[in-house]
């Protein structure tokens, strides 16, 4: 079992949905109550009022933001049932953003089951998690546990 524990301040979690398609607009977001029980701190997960934040889409505006570049070291792409990069190294205090580009939902769920858990991420959904404390954080997809990866915060 991992001994790094949760960052003392608690992981800061927020999830956002990119409203790229009108067809997505009618969908309600996420599973507030269930997630709120598991994430120690999450303003995405207040039941009934998920924090839905419009963020720039790397696909829609590749040159608009430095965040759009795949070279930026705080972004993990979920594509073809894999996390890329499989190991992401960040400075402690950095917020990591996961984006699901598959047509099947995935999650980013810490292997200890409590440090962080994203909601079910549908196509285009993002999940943000700040790692305030140095450590190695292995995680997987709760639906497809053969999908494994890790965050290393230095």
Partner 1 sequence: MADEIIHDHHHDGIDRRGFLKCMAWAGTGVALTFSGGVVTSHILGQGVAAAPATGDFTFVQISDSHIGFHKAPNTDVTATFQQAVDKINRLPTPPAFTLHTGDLSHLQKLDEWDTLDQLLKGAKGGEVFFTPGEHDVAVDNGKSYLTRYGKGTTGEGWRSFDYKGVHFVGLVNVLNLKAGGLGYLGPEQIDWLKQDLAGLSSSTPVVVYAHIPLWAVYPKWGWGTDDSEQALALLRRFGSVTVLNGHIHQVLHKIEGNITFHTAYSTAFPQPAPGTAPAPGPLVVPAGKLKQMLGIHEVSYRVSQNALAIVDSTLG
Distance from the first to the final alpha carbon of the chain: 20
Of 15, 10, 5, 46, which is closest to residue 120 (Cα–Cα)?
15
CA pair distance 129, 2, nearest whole angstrom: 18
Binding mask 63-102 for Cu ion (x = CB under 5 A): ----------------------------------------
Q: Is 60 in the site for partner 1 (CB under 8 A)?
A: no
Q: Which does 140 bind (CB under 5 to 8 A by kind): partner 1, Cu ion, none?
A: partner 1
Residue selected from 95, 144, 148, 150 as contacting Cu ion according to rule CB under 5 A:
144
CB of 66 to partner 1, least distance (A): 28
Part in contact with partner 1 (CB under 8 A); list of ranges 41-49, 56-64, 92-100, 144-152:
144-152
Burial 20-32 (b: 16+ CB within 10 A, else e): eeeeeeeeebbeb
141 close to 106: Cβ distance less than 8 angstroms = yes
CB of 94 or CB of 107, closer to partner 1: 107
**Which residue reads 């409203």 in tokens?**
19
**How many residues belong to the site for partner 1 (CB under 8 A)?**
27
């Amino acid at each position: 079992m991992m001994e790094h524990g949760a960052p003392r301040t608690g992981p800061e979690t927020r999830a956002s949905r990119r409203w790229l398609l009108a067809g997505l607009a009618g969908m309600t977001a996420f599973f507030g109550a269930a997630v709120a029980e598991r994430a120690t701190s999450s303003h995405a997960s207040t039941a009934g009022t998920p924090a839905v934040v419009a963020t720039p889409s790397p696909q829609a505006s590749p040159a608009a933001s430095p965040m759009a570049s795949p070279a930026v070291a705080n972004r993990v792409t979920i594509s073809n049932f894999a996390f890329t990069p499989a190991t992401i190294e960040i400075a402690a205090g950095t917020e990591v953003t996961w984006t699901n580009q598959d047509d099947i939902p995935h999650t980013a769920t810490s292997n200890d089951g409590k440090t962080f858990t994203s909601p079910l991420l549908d196509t285009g959904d993002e999940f943000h998690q700040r790692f305030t404390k140095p450590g190695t954080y292995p995680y997987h997809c709760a639906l497809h546990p053969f999908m494994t990866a890790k965050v290393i915060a230095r």
